[in-house]
Amino acid sequence: MNYYSTNNPTSKVDFKEATIRGQAPDRGLYFPEQVPVIGDAFFENIEEYSNEEIAFKVIKPYVGSVIQANDLMKLVTETINFPMPLVKVKEGIYALELFHGPTLAFKDVGARFMSRCLAYFTKDRNEKVIVLVATSGDTGGAVANGFYDVPGVDVVILYPSGKVSSVQEKQLTTLGKNIHALEVSGTFDDCQQLVKQAFMDAELNKTLFLTSANSINVARWLPQQFYYFLAWKQWHDKDHPPVICVPSGNFGNICAGMLAHRSGLPVQHFIAACNANDTIPEYMVSGNYQSKKAIATLSNAMDVGDPSNFIRILELFDHQFGELKNKLSSYSISDEETKLTIEEVNRANHYLLDPHGAVGYKALQEYMYSHPGQQGIFLETAHPVKFYDVVEPVINAKVPLPLGMQEIMKKTKVSMKMGVGYEELRSYLLRR
């Protein structure tokens, strides 16, 4: 499988090169040259396959021959060695719980797969790899955990000061060793822009071996397809595919789902659930893309005003707005609606949502009001304890800390504060 840049279809690399580079030199994102199609028989008999066999079958065409089959099976086995249950919340609405991994967030899957791929590809290189990543919350902790103590790899995480939860901040600032946190006095979009500037800095890249662990990296983005295949394995009504609602910030997760659907996965419709950062909900109404400055919300991991991965969704639909609109809807959910949803679902259904899952639940509910008779899945992307400071006042009760989180919360935060000027980041990287 080759990958081309979304800015230049003639610029092609294999999976290994795309993983190591992270972003194409022309600032485009790598996109697969073909979307592999999986036969109907696989989906009809999916319960007969183990989760590991499903993940291997999904990712193998994208990896090609750059990782040996037995090594790839080992990689996917280590990536998904925790449960991802589909849980009934109420009649017709199910939660796909993606928070049972080591950092209690859906990004564990992509971060674990990518860290293992990068270690595999760089094990014989003499130079140190610097993984540069911007986070709006969960990516930082997942990447830190996935790459912790990996030989020959340093991780530099940029996060917006005061705009991640206290649990998220502890997860990305307390590991030490090869994990380094930069606390930026700005928004996630500022952090993301700094990372993009570093990758476009030709002189810097001649001196340092930089790569990205954001969802722009194919090794982070593509394994997110696993969620959707495993959801279908657990789906109770194979004659009626579900509507799937995805809490969406940088749009890598929902793009992976739509890619899985293009491969043959049965899905009725997709919903991108957004918070007050309504760039895509407005685009789906007008057909005109206008990026905005990010707004801070209770669902902070989705506080993105210019989602990088949306270009991949457009690529998947050949930039045909009408075709995209037939398959994708998008809703903007306010903080007040988010809190009301957490309270209502907890009281009526005895199910505790995190703020991102609440946005997903509410958006799915809105869609189902106007499309009666549908059944739906929303992705519960993080454990509520990661946002206890939001959730506890709403439900007027404590969210118990899992044992692992209790230990992390006792640790001391270690970060370096910096502004939004690129030269400050550049100097820091060169000092490394």
- 42 CA to centre of own chain: 26
Residue-level pLDDT at 151: 84
Query: Is 56 within a domain?
Result: no
Query: Is 345 within a domain?
Result: yes
User: How many folded domains does the chain comprise?
Assistant: 1
Query: Is 15 within a domain?
Result: no
Residue-level pLDDT at 226: 98
> Is 12 considered catalytic here?
no
Catalytic residue among 16, 107, 163, 170: 107
The CATH number given to whatever domain includes residue 106 is 3.40.50.1100
Residue-level pLDDT at 140: 84
Residues listed for the chain: 432
Give the tens place of pLDDT for each residue, 14-42. Answer: 999 999 888 898 889 999 999 999 999 99
Query: Is 111 within a domain?
Result: yes
Backbone angles phi, psi at 334, to 5 degrees: -80, 165
Question: HEC string of 186-202?
Answer: CCHHHHHHHHHHHHHCH
Residue-level pLDDT at 400: 87
pTM above 0.85, yes or no: yes
Query: Is 2 within a domain?
Result: no
Query: Is 357 within a domain?
Result: yes
Nearest to 117 by CA among 225, 220, 246, 239: 220
Query: Is 1 within a domain?
Result: no
* Whole-angstrom distance, CA of residue 333 vs CA of residue 364: 11
Host domain of residue 230? 83-432
Residue-level pLDDT at 283: 97
In tens digits, the chain (432 residues) has pLDDT values of: 999 999 999 989 999 999 988 889 888 999 999 999 999 999 999 999 999 999 999 999 999 999 999 999 999 999 999 999 999 999 999 999 999 998 899 999 999 999 999 889 988 777 888 999 998 777 888 889 888 988 888 999 999 999 988 888 999 999 999 999 999 999 988 998 999 899 889 999 999 999 888 788 999 999 999 999 999 999 999 999 999 999 999 999 999 999 999 999 999 999 999 999 999 999 999 999 999 998 999 998 899 999 999 999 999 999 999 999 999 999 999 999 999 999 999 999 999 999 999 999 999 999 999 999 999 999 999 999 989 999 999 999 999 888 778 888 889 999 999 999 999 999 999 997
CA-based end-to-end distance of the chain: 35
DSSP state at residue 28: P
Query: Is 285 within a domain?
Result: yes
